[in-house]
Structure 1
Amino acid sequence: MSFAPNPDRFRFLHIDLNSFFASVEQQLHPEYRGKPVAVVPTMADTTCCIAASYEAKAFNVKTGTQVGEAKKMCPGIILVEGDHTEYAKYSKAINDAVDLVCPVAHNPSIDEMCCELIGREQEPPRARRIALDIKQSIYKNVGEALRCSIGMAPNRYLAKIASDMQKPDGLIGLLPSQLPRAVAHLDLRDLPGVGARTEARLHAKGITTMEQLLALDRTGMHTLWNSVWGDRMYHWLRGGVTGDDGATVTGDVQKSLGHSHVMAPEFRTDEGAWAIANKLLHKAAMRLRMEKFYTGSMSIVIRYQLTREQAERMKSKRHFSGIKQSGWGMEARFRQCQDTLTLLEAMRGMWQRRPQGEEFRRPFFVGVTLRDLVPENEHQEELFGDSGNRTQLSATMDKLNLKYGHTTLHFGSMLPARESAPTRIAFTQIPVQYGVDYM
C-alpha cells in the first residue's frame, strides 16, 4: 500500500450529473427549459422536492425544500411528479455515452460515474481532453439539457470533491503539487463523509475550518476520527492513494432489500396503508427472486401524522417533509423463503399487532424490508418440500409480470394501490431492469 503522492497526473475522473432528475424532465419537456422546475414524489404541499433545476435553485429551492414553501419562494415554479423509470433509462444512456470515451469503472449512485485513467491518459492535457469529450458525448448521444461537472484528481476522494467545486457544467482538476492548499478554502461539509453530525463532533473537538483540519498531522487525524478513516483522509487530501482510494467499501453479500413510500393523501388510512404495504412487498419479493436470494426475516415501519395537540402531548419527531410524526415498527423471523404468499402471511401477522388509538389513525409512510438474505446456492431445502406449491406459484407470477409488467398478476390485497408506490430511486441505489420494468 503506497501513501506517496503521485506525480502531477490525474488518475481519476468523477462525473456528477447536474440537477439530474430536473434536467431529465427538461430534456423530455423542452417547454420547461430555462424555467424553474422541481421534481416531487407526489403532488402535495406537505411533501418535499427531491430535485430542483438551476433556475429553481436561484430562488433557493433545493432538494428537501417543502413543496408549499417552494411555491412561496418561487411562485412560477413548475412541479413535476417524478418518473423514476425514465431517470433509470437516462442514467444508463449517459453511462453508455461516457463509456464511448472512457470506460466507467464505478457507479457510486444513479447520477455519478467514475473513470480510471491509465498510461498517458493521466497527463493533464490528455485528461482534460477526455473530460471535454465526455461532456460532448453526453450532449450528442443523450440530450442537450443534460450537463455534468467533472472533477479530475489523483484519487477518487479528491475527484469527487473537485466535481462539486464548479457547478453547473464545471471542470476542475486537483494536481498533487497543488495539494492540500487547493482545498483549504472549502467548508468541512464539502468533504464526502462529513455530514451535520460529523461536523458537530469536529466542532466539539475544536476543528471548525478546513485550515485547522489540514494543519493536523497523520497522528492528529487518526486521533480526531478515532479510526483508520483519519489516516486515510490525511493521505487523500494530499493526493495519496490508500488502496480503496476513497471508494465505498461494501460487504461481499447483500444483507437486505426493500421499498418504502410516502403515501398520497388519498391513501393515508389503515386500508390505504395496507394496500401500499402489499404493493411494496410484491415488488420486494419479486426482486428477491430475481436477485436469487432467500430471506429469513422481515421488518415493517409505519409513520403516523400527528395533530399539533398530539405532538405537544407526546414525544414526537419531525419528518423531512415537515410532518410531526410518531412511528411504529416490528420485525418477524421465519423459515427461509422467497415466495410471496409466505411473506404476505408474515406481514399480515405483524400488521395485526400495529398500535391503535387516535394518534395512530393517520399513516403517511410505510416501509417493508426483507433481511437476513441468503444466496440461493447456500439455502437448505425443507425436509418435506414446498407445501402448496408456493414457489411454483411465485415463479408463474414472475414469468407473466416480467413479460407484461410487474403489476400484471398479484394478490388482491394490493389492488387499490396497484398504480401507486411506483419505483423510487435512492441516489445511492440504481434500479435494475427486470423484464419491461425497473425496480
Structure 2
Amino acid sequence: MMQPGSDSPPASAARRIAHLDMDAFYASVELLRYPHLRGQPVVIGGRSTHAPVQDKDGNWHYTRMRDYVGRGVVTTSTYEARALGVFSAMGTMKAARLAPDAILLPADFDAYRHYSGLFKRAVAVIAPDIEDRGIDEIYLDLSSHTEDSVTLARMLKQAVTQATGLTCSVGIAPNKLLAKICSELDKPDGITVLTHADLPTRIWPMSVRKINGIGPKAAEKLAALGIETIAQLAAYDAQALLQHFGRSYGDWLHRAAHGIDDRPVVTYSEPKSISRETTFERDLHARQDRAALSDILIRLCERLGADLERKGYVSRTIGIKLRFSDFHIVTRDISLDAPVQTPAEILHAARECLKRVPLDQRMRLLGVRASALCHPDQLEQMPQRYVQGDLFDGE
C-alpha cells in the first residue's frame, strides 16, 4: 500500500508513542483567571502590558492591542486571535495591526510553570515513561499498556483536565516523529491515532514543513527541487537527497518522509545550560542607561539563580548574551574555579564577561546563561564571595 517509496515499516511499528500538547497553553492559563474572556481574541505578550483592572462596579478594564506601543513579541494567542492572523513570535506591533480590538494580557511565567508541573504529574500517574519537551508538551511511551490507544488518550486528557482545568491534544503513533505531527491534526482538545498504513492518506498530502526538523531554509531548498509535500519527498530519489543535503540530513529526510523514526522516549536527561534573557522596550546604552541596565542584569541573575536552585544545579560557566541595535549578537563566558548558584555569584561572573565586550553601541537584548551544570552534592561546599554592585563593578 505504501507507494511512493519501497521502505517498509520498521520493527518499531509495534511501539505506541504519544505526543501530548497543551492547547494554547499560556492563553488557556490566563483564561482560568479571566474566564469571561473565553471566546474572545486574546494575545499574551508585551513586556510593558498592564494587567487587567476591575473597578468598584465590577467592570474590567483591559489593554487593547491598538493601544500597545513597543517592540515586544507575541508569546501566544487564543484560537480566536489566531483566526485573525496573530501567532506566537510575531511582533506585537504587527499583531496590533491585524487585531486592534484584541485584548492584550501580560505573560505570567510563574503561573505557566505551576500548571506545567500539575499536568505532568497527573499524566505520570497513568504513563510514567515521559520525555519532557518543554513547558507545554511531552512524549510518552505507551507500548507496555494493555488499553487501546483511544482509551489511553481519553484517560490522559481526563487526568490533565481534572488536574488543571485545561485541555490538551494527544497524538498516538508508532514513533515520536509521527506522534508529533498527528497531535496537531485535531487541535484543540483532539485525539488522533495513526499507524504506518495511514501515511498515504493522512501524512503524505501535508507540507514538508509539518515534519519537525524541516525549517524554512530546508523547505526553500526542497521547493527549488519541486518538493513541497511529504509525498513528493517520499517519492524523491534517496541518493539525490544525499547529494543535495549531505549524507546525514539527506538520509534523515528520506526516512522521515516514510514515517521512520527509531528514537526512544528519553525519560531523563541532564540540561546543558539554563538561561534568562530579556528584550528591551527601547534600545539602551551602557553609559546613558547604566542604572536601568544594572537593574535588569540583577533581576536576570536573580531569576537564573532561582532556576538553578529550584532544579538543583550549580554552574561552572557563566555567560552573557548581547544583541545590539543593529541585531549583531555578542556572547562571552567565563569558566570559574568554584561552581556558583546564588544570584550574587552569577552577577559577579556576568560582570566579568561584560568587561570583555565593547559597549559603545545601543543594546536591545541582554541575557545571562549558566552552563557546565552539575549537582551540589558532587562538590565541596561553594565559597560565598560575590556581592552586588554596579553594572561593571564586581565588588
TM-score by length of 1: 0.71
C-alpha displacement of 1:183: 1.0
Q: 1:292-307 alignment to 2 at 5 Å?
A: 292-295=313-316, 297-305=317-325
Partner of 1:182: 202
Partner of 1:98: 123
Change (3 A) 1:373 1:4: same
Partner of 2:301: 281
Change (3 A) 1:301 1:116: closer
1:262 to 271, 279, 298: 279
Q: Does 1:79 pair with 2:104?
A: yes
Specify every segment of 5 or more residues in structure 2 that has no aligned partner in the other structure, as ranges. 1-7, 50-68
Partner of 1:391: 383
Post-superposition Cα deviations, 1:62-93, rounded to whole Å, max 9, x if no partner, equal: 11222222222222211111101111111122
Specify every segment of 5 or more residues in structure 1 that has no aligned partner in the other structure, as ranges. 306-315, 317-324, 395-409, 415-439
Post-superposition Cα deviations, 1:223-245, rounded to whole Å, max 9, x if no partner, equal: 55424454455445445452x25
Residue correspondences, number: 360
Partner of 1:130: 152
Partner of 2:61: none
Q: Answer yes or no: is the 8 Å Cα contact 2:17–2:143 preserved in 1.
A: no
CA distance in 2, matches of 1:208, 1:104: 35
Q: Answer yes or no: is the 8 Å Cα contact 1:37–1:77 preserved in 2.
A: yes
CA distance in 2, matches of 1:24, 1:101: 23
CA distance in 2, matches of 1:266, 1:31: 37
Change (3 A) 1:248 1:304: farther
C-alpha displacement of 1:199: 1.6
Percent identity reads: 26
Partner of 1:430: none
Task: Please tell me the residue identity of whatever aligns with 2:115.
Answer: Y
C-alpha displacement of 1:38: 0.7
Post-superposition Cα deviations, 1:392-413, rounded to whole Å, max 9, x if no partner, equal: 568xxxxxxxxxxxxxxx8365
CA distance in 1, matches of 2:211, 2:249: 13
CA distance in 2, matches of 1:274, 1:195: 37
Partner of 1:63: 88
Post-superposition Cα deviations, 1:225-282, rounded to whole Å, max 9, x if no partner, equal: 424454455445445452x25x6899x6544332111234597723211221122223
C-alpha displacement of 1:11: 0.7
Q: Say which SS state the counterpart of residue 14 (structure 1) adopts.
A: strand
For CA contacts below 8 A with separation 6 or more, give which structure has more relative contact order: 1
Change (3 A) 1:166 1:83: same
C-alpha displacement of 1:343: 4.4
CA distance in 2, matches of 1:220, 1:79: 48
Partner of 2:190: 170
Q: Answer yes or no: is the 8 Å Cα contact 1:5–1:238 preserved in 2.
A: no
Q: Answer yes or no: is the 8 Å Cα contact 2:46–2:92 preserved in 1.
A: no
Task: Please tell me the residue identity of whatever aligns with 2:117.
Answer: K
Q: Answer yes or no: is the 8 Å Cα contact 1:148–1:168 preserved in 2.
A: yes
C-alpha displacement of 1:127: 0.8
Post-superposition Cα deviations, 1:167-192, rounded to whole Å, max 9, x if no partner, equal: 22222222122234431111111100
CA distance in 1, matches of 2:341, 2:142: 45
Partner of 1:46: 71
